[in-house]
Structure 1
Amino acid sequence: MSEWEARLAQLRRLADSLLPRLADLTEQICLIPAPTYHEAERARWVARALEERGLAVEVDDLPNVYARRPGSGRGATLMLAAHTDTVFPPGTPITVERSDGVLTGPGIGDNSLGVAGLLVLVDLLEAAGITTPGDVLLVANVGEEGLGNLRGIKAAVDRFEPELGGVIAVEGHNLGRVTHIAVGSKRIRVTVTGPGGHSWGAFGEPSAIHELAGIVQEISMIPVPLQPKTTYNVGLIEGGVSVNTIAPHASAVIDMRSTDPDRLAWLAQEVTRIVERRRTDRVSTEIEVLGERPAGSVPPSSPLVRLTVEVLEQLGFQPELNASSTDANIPIARGIPAVCVGLSHGVRAHRTDEQIEIAPAAVGLVQLALIAERFVGEAQGTGGVDGERPSQ
């Protein structure tokens, strides 16, 4: 057995021994409700858990949780970020079931396992005696889901950008995947207002619902490119008073996405033109921006992407390079090398019966430990990792 094989076997054994702790922490985190904009209780719990590991911890007013594990000073800071919020509204019943190495519960993989992974990574680094080249900055951040608008990772990057050499967003699902392309999005609410009236007596007056339907129909005819992939979706429609009332108001929530920032801007402009064309002296139309996520990419040749791929290959994976909307969007759009990786395998994300496997997470933890151990990078302002900046 080579020295490298012995080293890897040691890390695997240590990670395997930590799996019961990881499962317990994942369950405890999941049982703390954390809808987007309601993450405070979970943040306090995570802060205590990090303090118990001997780290200096700060909690800001969002609340993001920050903890730093010092390195040797030979490299730039590597941020590892896992979001604390879930997609489920306040009051959602939460239970966690364990069966045959699988945990089931709302948000168990997305992202209770990711947050627990940060805690157990500290344990693994300590047990393996790993001193990283640069500091490892652990961030449990708010606002990744839905209309959280990535506000947590934005605040984290704003605060630490000058020292960052790279960022890794940690998710519970999709072990073996390397997300290096940020899918940008713009989410808007279109509101149409008209005079209303009785469906018989005022027949002929403009209906807000009819006008909104026309807007939606026009949007559905926008020719969008397959590459770079660009999409739109009308996900919510509300309005009207009764079946025999000409609707005085109606609204739609629209999601627009692209991997290319210019295409995303073009699509948003096309939708705006359609909405404005429907505006008359009898009908008003308004657009409210609900959320924006920037698009961008880190090239596969980037040292951080190469390192992540190399580690996964050494762990027996054929890594999948892909595009998604994650916390990595923010550093990628800022020109900071960043990827999103997963810790394990699971199914039914964003459902109350979501499932995640525990055993593969041992490899997921080793993945993070090896990346942290090898990452040198350079702080921002000095050319990015090894002098190479990602494209935007």
Structure 2
Amino acid sequence: MERYLEKNIQQILTLIERLVNIDSGSYVKQGVDEVGNILSKYYQELGFEVNVIQQQEYGNHLVIQHKNANNPKIIILAHMDTVFPEGTVEERSFHYKDDHAYGPGVIDMKASLVTLYYAIKALMVAGHEGYKDIQIVLNSDEEIGSITSRPLIEKLAIGKRYALVMEPARRNGKLVSSRRGKGNFTLHVEGRAAHSGIEPEKGRSAIEALAHKIIQLHQLNDIKKGISVNVGLIEGGSSVNTISDHAVAQIDVRIREIDQVELMEEVLEKICTTTDVSGTKVTIEGEINRPPMEKTNKTEQLLHIIEEVGDSIGIDIDDTATGGGSDAAFTAALGIATIDGLGPVGGYPHSDKEYLEISSLVPRTLLLASIIQRLAER
């Protein structure tokens, strides 16, 4: 398989370039669907069936498995959307220099979409049949919390033994065995407007009330327990000489353990339904929309298998925890052995510095193909 991949490295890069040069931000439905249409044709040429799950607002989701698959026990998750708005490709299209390739979404995760496809091709060329034991879900809204695809992922994951998630490997090549859970909340404060010079006593400042809540929310941070709360965006008021009648805050919450989900939601509700400024009203909306991916015994066992596979092909395997969220959280929460970070190596995702290490394409594709085959044989 390695020889086949090395021989076809230019074709791999060409397909990555083609996908990167399509604007496919989560809100660019046309672009996400274009990526999906390209991949659908490639998979169909290999004898795979593609079930298109139509979406109105976001891109369509794809469920892919070989026509001869029979109750596959491996689910593979990858996403077609990026965080970049329409027009980004025109500003900085795909290009590469030395061992680094650049472009919007090149590592998160256009390259992973391609290495997954070529891992399957490599299995076929080698005469292995592990590709018959996988079901692939390519979703369109991972970067905005998998709003429409979470129910689909959870439904298809039921009964699976293993989940392989194609987020990129860490910059040091490590796989991801645990992630913190994530929640998004919006805090609304209603006050009463008044002229700050003429009749300030008639006003009730929403901004003042919000300031109290920001302090209380940040006091919830407990790094040792893996809890972090960040008020990342605020807005409010209408002019500098007007006591504000409205204020809004966007809150990011991260947790490490599943038992912390209900606890944090209760604490946030308690803090954000009372006010510290008479005459103002405080409300909160939102939820923990990604549970934590905890490193369970099942995950440890899967990691051990992957380590054995790595040893057999000369790749050292190590794992790490990360604070970022991914769809791995959904399969892990269902009790399925889940490993993330199975894409190629790169760095600086979600930025204009985002890059892919070209030299990681062959070994990481070979690793993925070998893992699929080993798991299929179990």
Superposition TM-score, scaled by structure 1 size: 0.85
Q: Is the Cα–Cα contact under 8 Å of residues 154 and 330 in structure 1 kept in the other structure?
A: no
| Partner residue in 2 for 1:3 | none
Q: Is the Cα–Cα contact under 8 Å of residues 113 and 171 in structure 1 kept in the other structure?
A: no
The one-letter code matched in structure 1 to 2:351 is: R
Q: Kindly indicate whether residue 58 of structure 2 is the aligned counterpart of residue 59 of structure 1.
A: no
Q: Kindly indicate whether residue 157 of structure 2 is the aligned counterpart of residue 164 of structure 1.
A: no
How do residues 3-22 of structure 1 correspond to structure 2 at under 5 angstroms?
Answer: 11-22=1-12
Offset from partner CA, 1:242-285 (integer Å, 9 cap, x none): 11111111101101111112223323322222212217772121
Distance in structure 2 (CA, Å) of the matches to 1:46 and 1:328: 22
| Partner residue in 1 for 2:262 | 265
Alignment RMSD (CA, Å): 2.4
How do residues 237-256 of structure 1 correspond to structure 2 at under 5 angstroms?
Answer: 237-256=234-253
User: Which stretch of structure 1 is more off in the superposition, 301-310 or 334-343?
Assistant: 301-310
Q: Secondary structure at the match of 1:285?
A: strand
Q: Kindly indicate whether residue 181 of structure 2 is the aligned counterpart of residue 184 of structure 1.
A: yes
Offset from partner CA, 1:17-42 (integer Å, 9 cap, x none): 23212111111111111111432232
Corresponding pairs, count: 364
Offset from partner CA, 1:343-379 (integer Å, 9 cap, x none): 32222211123110112111111111111111149xx
Q: Secondary structure at the match of 1:341?
A: coil
Distance 1:347 1:341, change over 3 A: closer
Q: Kindly indicate whether residue 228 of structure 2 is the aligned counterpart of residue 235 of structure 1.
A: no
Distance in structure 2 (CA, Å) of the matches to 1:72 and 1:35: 32
Q: Is the Cα–Cα contact under 8 Å of residues 110 and 173 in structure 1 kept in the other structure?
A: no
Q: Kindly indicate whether residue 362 of structure 2 is the aligned counterpart of residue 327 of structure 1.
A: no
Q: Is the Cα–Cα contact under 8 Å of residues 107 and 352 in structure 1 kept in the other structure?
A: no
Q: Is the Cα–Cα contact under 8 Å of residues 80 and 167 in structure 1 kept in the other structure?
A: yes
Offset from partner CA, 1:153-207 (integer Å, 9 cap, x none): 541331x234422111102342742322231111100011111121212313221
How do residues 275-314 of structure 1 correspond to structure 2 at under 5 angstroms?
Answer: 275-278=272-275, 282-289=279-286, 292-300=289-297, 302=299, 303-314=301-312
Q: Secondary structure at the match of 2:349?
A: coil
User: Which stretch of structure 1 is more off in the superposition, 199-208 or 281-290?
Assistant: 281-290
Q: Which runs of 5+ in 1 are unaligned?
A: 1-10, 378-385, 387-392
User: Which stretch of structure 1 is more off in the superposition, 363-372 or 127-136?
Assistant: 127-136
Distance in structure 1 (CA, Å) of the matches to 2:360 and 2:86: 31
Distance in structure 2 (CA, Å) of the matches to 1:133 and 1:275: 50
**Match 1:50 to one of 43, 46, 56:** 43
Distance 1:12 1:150, change over 3 A: farther
Distance in structure 1 (CA, Å) of the matches to 2:259 and 2:168: 31
Give the Å deviation of 1:134. 5.5
Distance in structure 2 (CA, Å) of the matches to 1:221 and 1:53: 54
Runs ≥4 residues deviating over 4 A: 70-73
Distance in structure 1 (CA, Å) of the matches to 2:237 and 2:261: 31
Q: Kindly indicate whether residue 32 of structure 2 is the aligned counterpart of residue 35 of structure 1.
A: no
Distance 1:304 1:150, change over 3 A: farther
The one-letter code matched in structure 2 to 1:52 is: E
Q: Is the Cα–Cα contact under 8 Å of residues 67 and 139 in structure 1 kept in the other structure?
A: yes
Give the Å deviation of 1:150. 5.5
Q: Is the Cα–Cα contact under 8 Å of residues 191 and 245 in structure 2 kept in the other structure?
A: yes
Give the Å deviation of 1:291. 5.9
User: Which stretch of structure 1 is more off in the superposition, 84-93 or 194-203?
Assistant: 84-93
| Partner residue in 2 for 1:316 | 315
Greater helix fraction, Structure 1 or Structure 2: 2
Superposition TM-score, scaled by structure 2 size: 0.88
Q: Secondary structure at the match of 2:51?
A: strand
Q: Kindly indicate whether residue 84 of structure 2 is the aligned counterpart of residue 91 of structure 1.
A: no
The one-letter code matched in structure 2 to 1:49 is: Y
Distance in structure 2 (CA, Å) of the matches to 1:72 and 1:347: 35
Distance in structure 1 (CA, Å) of the matches to 2:150 and 2:21: 23
How do residues 327-366 of structure 1 correspond to structure 2 at under 5 angstroms?
Answer: 327-366=327-366
Distance in structure 2 (CA, Å) of the matches to 1:177 and 1:372: 18
Distance in structure 2 (CA, Å) of the matches to 1:330 and 1:193: 36
Distance in structure 2 (CA, Å) of the matches to 1:88 and 1:291: 24
